[in-house]
Amino acid sequence: MTLFFEHHIKLDNITYNTTDKNIDVNTLTALTALFDSLAKTDNALSKAQLKQAISKGALWLTRGKHTQRLRRVKRTLQQDDELHFYYNEAVLANEVPKAILISDEGDYSVWYKPFGMLSQGSKWSDHCTIARFAQQFFTNERAVFIVHRLDKAATGLILIAHSKKAVKALSLMFENRTTNNNSLEKYYQIIVHGNHSINEQPQVITSDVEGKSARSTFRCLTYDKIKEQSLIEVKIDSGRKHQIRVHAASVGLPVVGDRLHGIADNNESLNLQLCAVSLSFICPITQQKQYFQLPEALRPQL
């Protein structure tokens, strides 16, 4: 049976009773406080287990009005600090998928996000995220900020900013994608069930997604008669959640491996065949035209 629980501590006493002795709160470390507090419950864990969970992002510290993830087990606490520990054995056991660095631009980097890797973490952990992977990748650990997202099941190009200036500028670029003279262009490739080559080329789909306007342009690259599947290039002019998957299903061509909007079931062996293959924009920091694309080997193969 998988062990999972939440545990919260508020340091509201001048002295704190550990298993060893009473010590001043201001000399108490996060690891000691958590270890001793859990020892009094049915969810006691060893210090080795706690260190591993904390390194994977399971511990949070609230100090004043600010709450942030805490990884330093020897972090000294202060009066009125709060610790929030979220332990999920199954989540922490997940293996980290391997991302690939496509380009390091200093202020930001461009990555290939593989299937199963998250864009951002949860309160339970962040060790399987592209953000944490990028943070640990560089010799001198950098700050990381998510600019845009890819679904866990999707693959392809994703931007990671390394400064507050960069994330602000790049995020605005994505938010204003429909009003910035189309300088931002994202292309995807998908494999769908059915023959898209018989449809109008290119096919523009403008049906709303979750009540919001959305526009996608589909162009068939090839059709496999034996598999009865099509490889399609997709350009999106809006960024609605699951937009491509919803639009593909709406015209009777569900994406292969789509267990949410498509026809896939647990017997289908392929992962979601949706990949962000190229990204171009005028960099809001340098004003230079940038173009990034995935090598053929990382794209969907029909």
Q: What is residue 52's predicted lDDT score, i.e. its pLDDT?
A: 97
Residue ranges of domains in the chain? 4-93, 100-174, 182-298
Two domains, one topology: 100-174 and 182-298? yes
The DSSP string of 106-149 is SSEEEEEEPTT-BSS--SS--TTBHHHHHHHHSSSPPP-EE-S-
pLDDT of residue 130: 97
Rounded distance between C-alpha atoms, residue 221 and residue 230, angstroms: 8
Note the pTM of the prediction, 2 decimals.
0.88
| Class at the top of the CATH hierarchy for domain 4-93 | alpha beta
- What is the structure's pLDDT at 14? 46
- Which fold is adopted by the domain 182-298? Pseudouridine synthase (3.30.2350)
Task: Report the CATH fold assignment for 100-174.
Answer: Pseudouridine synthase (3.30.2350)
Residue 12: predicted pLDDT: 75
Gap between the Cα atoms of 147 and 167, Å rounded: 6
For residues 46 and 52, the answer to whether their CB atoms sit within 8 Å is no
Cis peptide before 202 (omega within 30 of 0): yes
Residue 171 and residue 165: Cα distance in Å, rounded? 10
Q: What is the pLDDT of residue 2?
A: 80
Which residue's entry shows tokens 């342009």? 217
**Is residue 27 within 8 Å of 76, Cβ to Cβ?**
yes
For residue 181, the model assigns a pLDDT of 57
Q: Which sign, positive or negative, has the C-alpha torsion 298, 203, 264, 121?
A: positive
Kindly give the confidence (pLDDT) of every residue in the chain, 302 residues in length, as a single tens digit, with 9 standing for 90 and above.
Answer: 789 999 999 987 544 555 555 555 567 889 999 999 999 999 999 999 999 999 999 999 999 999 999 999 888 888 889 999 999 999 999 999 999 999 999 999 999 999 999 999 999 999 999 999 999 999 888 899 999 999 999 999 999 999 999 999 999 998 887 655 548 899 999 999 999 999 999 999 998 888 888 899 999 999 999 999 999 999 988 778 889 999 999 999 999 998 877 666 555 667 899 999 999 999 999 999 999 999 999 999 99
pLDDT at 152: 93
